[in-house]
């Protein structure tokens, strides 16, 4: 066998690793959650009772699913104007200027800061601030974690949006300008219609990020096992409950935590697949 053939086989074998990893991931999660699934069946998703007391163990994931969705949706709503403005700033108003490269470097740094540092900053700086302006007595809850998540996902939403905004052909913009359109009208009538699928995909992918964030949320959501009732209500999220209870869990509780992990895996994968699908169709 000549060296080219060997190389081809080596590369192909390496690519099999990806299949192996993904298969192994699904298998491990499914096998790990079997115990819980046999016990609770589909009720696991619709029940919000989480009681680890020995003898009357009862687990349901609804309240965690709600907590994860509420914080992530809030994060998306808060991040939307920020990311949209920043991407217009970088890719349209100040495109190719020094100013734009400084701003985009700073936004990228925001993406580089580890999750636990966001959590600490939220806990020691943001939470006392929220208490001091009287929004909530303790400062924990959906709002605080949503706000921190928003800051965390802004860079993800911004970078892809700016890339698509930059791709809008100059001829189209110039045609609109030559008809006397203002900058805002060009953005609204030319850039947005052309870049909307990329912008939408960037928010969907950012949303997927927010769903899986763990420690920043764990430190701020309040870790109360209730379905959140309002913006300043405490709650718990899927990733947080795994992080908090994993250490002392075994048996049925461990299996239920793994099932929550499986659900989180499925939800984030679906969201990401939708985002990537939109990008693919665009290209």
Q: Using CB under 8 A, which of 41, 114, 128, 193 touches another protein?
A: 114
CB of 164 to another protein, least distance (A): 17
Name which of 149, 155, 152, 160 is nearest 202 in CA terms.
160
Could you tell me if 74 and 150 are in contact, meaning their C-beta atoms sit under 8 angstroms apart? Answer: yes
Residue 229: CB minimum distance to another protein, A? 25
51 DSSP β-pair partners: 58
| Distance (Å, whole) CA 71 – CA 116 | 17
Using a 10 angstrom Cβ sphere, with 0-12 exposed, 13-18 middle and 19 or more buried, the burial of residue 243 is middle
Q: Is 18 in the site for another protein (CB under 8 A)?
A: yes
Site stretch for another protein (CB under 8 A), options 26-34, 36-44, 132-140, 164-172: 26-34
Sketch the per residue contact string, 231 through 270, with another protein: x for CB under 8 A, - otherwise.
--------x--xx--xx---------xx--x--xx--xx-
With contact defined as beta carbons under 8 Å apart, do 270 and 204 qualify? no
Binding residues for another protein, rule CB under 8 A, total 84
Query: Binding string to another protein for residues 45 to 64, with x set by CB under 8 A, is what?
Result: --------------------
273 lies in the binding site for another protein (CB under 8 A)? yes
Residue with tokens 């400084």: 102
Convert 64-78 to b/e letters by CB count within 10 Å (16 or more is b). Answer: bbbbbbbbbbbbbeb
Smallest distance, Å, CB 206 to another protein?
A: 11
Q: Which of 81, 98, 179, 248 binds another protein (CB under 8 A)?
A: 81
Measure the CA–CA gap between 8 and 91, rounded to whole angstroms. 41
Query: d(Cα 116, Cα 196) in Å, to the nearest integer?
Result: 33
Q: Which of residues 129-158 bind another protein (CB under 8 A)?
A: 151, 154, 158
* Residue 221 DSSP code: S
Nearer Cβ to another protein (125/230)? 125
Among 1, 4, 132, 171, which residue interacts with another protein (rule: CB under 8 A)?
Answer: 4
Beta strands in the chain (DSSP E): 50-51, 58-59
Instruction: Count CA atoms within 13 Å of residue 162 on its CB side.
Output: 27
281's CB contacts (< 8 A; 6+ apart) are 197
Question: Is residue 214 part of the contact set for another protein (CB under 8 A)?
Answer: yes
Residue 96 as a binder of another protein (CB under 8 A): the answer is: no
What's the min distance (Å) between Cβ of 26 and another protein? 9
Based on CB atoms, which residue is closest to another protein, 62 or 120?
A: 120
Is residue 283 part of the contact set for another protein (CB under 8 A)? no
Q: Pick one of 66, 75, 88, 130: the residue that binds another protein (CB under 8 A).
A: 88
**Which of these segments, 25-33, 57-65, 164-172, 223-231, binds another protein (CB under 8 A)?**
25-33
């Amino acid at each position: 066998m000549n060296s080219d053939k060997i190389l081809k086989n080596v590369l192909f074998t390496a690519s099999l690793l990806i299949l192996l990893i993904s298969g192994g991931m699904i298998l491990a999660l499914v096998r790990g959650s079997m115990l819980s699934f046999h016990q609770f069946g589909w009720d696991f998703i619709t029940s919000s009772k989480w009681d680890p007391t020995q003898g009357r163990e009862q687990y349901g994931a609804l309240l965690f699913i709600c907590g994860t969705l509420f914080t992530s949706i809030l994060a998306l709503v808060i991040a939307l104007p920020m990311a949209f403005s920043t991407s217009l700033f970088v890719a349209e108003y100040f495109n190719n200027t020094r100013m734009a490269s400084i701003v985009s470097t700073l936004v990228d740094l925001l993406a580089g800061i580890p999750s636990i540092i966001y959590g600490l900053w939220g806990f020691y700086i943001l939470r006392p601030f929220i208490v001091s302006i009287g929004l909530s007595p303790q400062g924990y809850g959906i709002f605080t974690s949503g706000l921190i998540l928003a800051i965390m996902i802004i860079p993800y939403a911004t970078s892809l949006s700016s890339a698509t905004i930059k791709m809008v052909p100059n001829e189209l913009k110039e045609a609109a300008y030559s008809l006397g359109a203002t900058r805002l009208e060009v953005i609204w009538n030319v850039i947005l219609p052309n870049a909307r699928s990329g912008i939408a995909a960037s928010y969907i992918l950012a949303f997927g990020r927010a769903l899986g964030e763990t420690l920043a949320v764990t430190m701020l959501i309040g870790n109360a096992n209730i379905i959140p009732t309002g913006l300043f209500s405490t709650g718990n999220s899927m990733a947080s409950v795994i992080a908090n209870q994993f250490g002392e869990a075994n048996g049925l509780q461990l299996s239920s935590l793994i099932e929550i992990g499986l659900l989180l895996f499925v939800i984030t994968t679906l969201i990401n697949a939708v985002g990537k699908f939109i990008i693919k169709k665009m290209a």
